[in-house]
Amino acid sequence: MPLYNRIMLRKLRRLFHRGLRLFKMVSEAPKIQGLFHERPPYDTANISLWYSVIRNNPLTSDCQVIGVSWYKKRKGAEHEFLRFDISSPDNQHTCIVIAEKSGGCVRSPNSDATQVADTLAQTDTEVDATTSPLTPPETSALSPDVGDSTKMNTAQIAASFCSGFERYACDRVYVATRISAAGAWVEEKCDKSRLVCTLSFTGAKPTANELATLLYVTSAQEPKCNLHDTQCHWFAATVFDALNILYEGAEQDPTPHQAGTICGVPVDFKASGEEVYAKYRDARAALSEEVEQQRRLKQEQEEQRQREREQRQAAEEAAKRAEEERQREREQREAAEQERQKEREQREAAEERARAAEEERQRERLAAEEAAQKERAAEERARAAQEEIAKLLQEVEALKRAGASTQQA
């Protein structure tokens, strides 16, 4: 398919995927640092830094490599790199990781000063109008073109001139979410290169964590990059063959292939696969031991936290029981106080009724006394009246006798 058609197809795919996400018909890509990156142009780091990021994230053990692609540049030293398609933990999304070895820093053996080669800086800061900004530093700018004897001679002269210098490799990875703007930048690099071989896995698949370990130990196996050597071919071949050997059910297509060649001529590089495999196994064993130690430490910490939680819970329950006991005592005291208050009120009511009855009796006594006094006064008045009447009768009788005496006389 022509390059323009592939670019348009990716744009349509991103637009369709964006619409699905807008209507929440598909989930968003996970936020896993070092793997899924959507904003253009892409995420990049040297392999050692990327390895430290990946190995410390447990989610990367759930991300599986579903395919490996071996690419070769179409011109120059035919620089080679590997592309890894890695699925998300839920298998709903895919990220792309490109790994490669290229020239890096120049160091003089007589000096500790190191100056960074301009290859990476130019890649990150200068973007040609017809070239993707993704294109990383390549050994094609540093290695000879075997098809051109003039370039070969020039490279040999440069290599002999720089024989007193060592070039430390800039082994890097480029990361992006596949269906995203960043993924388009990464896939454009692949479009401009030639696919020479693929590797698929029908059985157990390597995880992103295992891939990072393999890339790291392979990069550390050859930390330097001679200006006249072809370590990019060695790096790609070593990693590719390691995955093919380490995982049963890996299927390579085609076999044989044109990788590891320049203009069809096989590149001569030393075989160090066994050393890399041994270091990979040692690194995975060390990482497994470290993970196990971290798991045990985490388990011990969790058990300690659980004990502390249980102690806090027991203390809280004891405090709760004590508070409930105090509450019951308070309620009992309040009930007793209410009972005493009720008894006081009843006594006061009884005393009030007794006082009222006493006052009533007092009023009755007073009324009776007043009535008796009135009766005595009435009796005295009646007695006085009777005495007055008797006295008057006596006077009348005396007057009668006096009148009779007068008449007789």
Q: How far is residue 348 from each of residues 151, 285, 337, 363, measured CA to CA in Å?
A: 123, 90, 16, 22
- Looking at the whole model, is its pTM more than 0.75? no
CB 230 within 8 A of CB 158: no
- Indicate whether 306 belongs to any domain: no
| Mean per-residue pLDDT over the chain, rounded | 76
Cis-peptide, bond into residue 41, ω within 30° of zero: yes
**Residue 359: C-alpha distances to residues 352, 365, 395 (Å):** 10, 10, 52
Per-residue confidence (pLDDT) for residue 1, from 0 to 100: 54
Contacts of 150 (CB under 8 A, 6+ apart): none
Residue 113, pLDDT score: 33
For residue 293, being part of any structural domain is answered with no
Could you tell me if residue 313 is inside a domain? no
Number of domains in the chain: 1
Cα gap 362→115, rounded to integer Å = 123
Is 364 a member of any domain? no
Is a pLDDT exceeding 80 seen at residue 42?
Answer: no
> Which contiguous run of DSSP H or E holds residue 332?
helix 273-408
Whole-number pLDDT of residue 357:
92
pLDDT of 39 higher than 80: no
Among the ranges given (7-16, 267-276, 394-403), the one the predictor scored with the smallest mean pLDDT:
7-16
- Look up the domain containing 171 and give its range: 3-271
* Residue at 294 is within a domain: no
**Is residue 322 included in any domain, yes or no?**
no
Q: Is residue 204 part of a domain?
A: yes
In contact, 76 and 141? CB cutoff 8 Å: yes
Q: What is the pLDDT of residues 160-216, one digit of tens each?
A: 333 444 455 678 899 988 878 777 888 888 888 889 999 999 988 999 999 999 999
Q: Report if residue 325 sits inside a domain.
A: no
Length of the chain: 409
Supply the pLDDT for residue 83: 94
How far out from the chain centre does Cα 296 lie? Answer: 21
